[in-house]
Amino acid sequence: MFDINWQSVLDQLTYDPKNPMIFSTGVFLFLFLGFTFIYNLLGKNKTTTLRLLFVTLFSYYFYYKSSGYYFYLLLIVSLTDFILAYLIYRNNVRAGLTTEEQIRKRKLPINRLLLGLSLCVDLGILIYFKYTNFFGKCWADITGGHWDMLDIILPVGVSFFTFQSLSYTFDTYRGKMKPLTNFLDYAFFVSFFPQLVAGPIVRAKDFIPQIRKPLFVSKTMFGRALFLIMAGLLKKAVIADYISVNFVDRVFEQPDLYSGVENLLGLYAYCIQLYCDFSGYSDMAIGIALMLGFTFPKNFDAPYKSQSVTEFWRRWHISLSFWLRDYVYISLGGNRHGLVRQCFNVGMVMVVGGFWHGAGFNFLLWGVFQGLMLVVEKLYMDWRKKRNPNYHLMNRKGGLVGLTRMLLTFHIFMFSLIYFRSTSFENGTMMLTQIFSNFSPQVFTQWVVGYWVVAVLVLLGYITHLLPSKVNDKVTTGITRMSLVGQALLLVIVIFIVIQMKTADVQPFIYFDF
């Protein structure tokens, strides 16, 4: 009766490197429907362990569909940090160190060694897959030798789950939490699929207490989850993907073929593409987790509204910024050793953050630039505080002053993206040359006519980004108050729009490469 091509079905369920499974694909939506049905059935069972096992297995399968057989890395990281954190805790107990203050005052040498081992394993995996060819080529250039590039495929999300697992070891080492005694719980924490491949980076001390709570999703939680999932789909699959394929990629690949005004418009388009792509993923991850009864922290807070670079990094990729602050900046000494040392630590954190984004000098340059901007702001704030003790860069201004600060901060970030996005330093330099020496403003009208869909989507992206947060709250409330039929119909409309705007090939999330 039904002519089913089982080979085609099998192909859809196995890993395809050309079409990794992401939230905006039909395969994921289909699998997620089946997943939620079983998940909710298991949620009614008083045995939480079975539900956790099911989710963990699905998460490993999700990672397999995203990155092939590299799912074994999840197991290595999970086993290593689970065992090492337990050993660290046991050593502290045997030494009579039971409080965070006691542990802070007396760090056991053996625990330093165990923490170092955790760093070696987690960062060793990250360095091997992400930076081996980069360091090998650099060494060959320095010594005048030759480096044959190794065929190393970067596993999706390796930067995220290694950092997430490290937070557990660090927090146990610092006495901020007790380690788990059940490996399934820890495997669940590291592999939980909504944030596995592109964040947000969830802290162990925030997520682990939620793991064995009874499954509960209120109507308000469901309404907000639905809003976040739909908003993320529209951001990623409609705005980001369309403007990327139809304009941004073309400009950055050959900036010399476009006038200065088109290069500048390409920069503006890339800014909103980057935001919509990454915040779209974060929205969907947070929404899916919320639909499953788990709460994730906000990862983006309208960063282009920032009035200083310092504020920007408290609004952009919040989970990474605060991870770097807590585990790199504080480990380097933070602000405890004077202004000069503090400025050095701030700069180093941004260099690490830049290098985290990719193995290339363009990412290092971007990190150095962002670090310098933060240092300049810190020195300026210190100077202003001597004259006005109440001054702080985070004190937002209204009116023309506030608008000027916001536009200045945005354009500092935007121009820093030229080398961040460019495929080579030559292309980045060519883009700058075109903008400042071959601007040709008369081309703008032709661009609007020829790329009117791109223009509309870019404008829509910025408008929705700059809307007051209370607008989102009202939309969320409206969705929450809808009937289940109304919510389903709205979701169908969003999926229909996504299908109509969908590009021919699956466009992976930008941060999959990081």
Which active-site residues does the annotation give?
Answer: 357
How far is CA 361 from each of CA 127, 136, 336, 509, rounded to the nearest angstrom?
15, 14, 31, 22
Distances in Å between the Cα of 239 and the Cα atoms of 111, 342, 447 are 48, 39, 18
Question: What's the one-letter identity of residue 51?
Answer: R
| Helical (H) or strand (E) element with 431 | helix 425-437
What is the crossing angle of helices 72-94 and 109-143, to 10°? Answer: 140
Tell which residue, 161, 163, 177, has the closest CA to residue 86.
177
- Residue showing tokens 């920069």: 267
Please tell me the distance from the alpha carbon of residue 24 to that of residue 512, in angstroms, as a whole number. Answer: 14
Give the number of other Cβ atoms within 10 Å of residue 217's Cβ: 15
- CA 67 to chain centroid, in Å, comes to 17
Which H/E stretch holds residue 253? Answer: helix 249-253
CA distance 118 to 84: 7
Give the HSE-up count for residue 429: Cα atoms under 13 Å, Cβ half-sphere.
Answer: 3
Q: How many whole angstroms from its chain centre is CA 265?
A: 25
- Residue closest to 454 by CA, chosen among 302, 250, 233, 281: 250
- Which positions ≥6 away from 67 have C-beta within 8 Å? 15, 20, 155, 156, 157, 197
* Cis peptide bond upstream of 214, omega within 30: no
Pairwise CA distance, residues 166 & 85, whole Å: 10
What is each CA distance from 217 to 56, 152, 293, in whole angstroms? Answer: 20, 42, 5
8 Å CB contact between 192 and 55: yes
Whether the Cβ atoms of residue 225 and residue 488 lie closer than 8 Å to each other: no
The dihedral through the CA atoms of 466, 422, 122, 508 has a sign that is positive
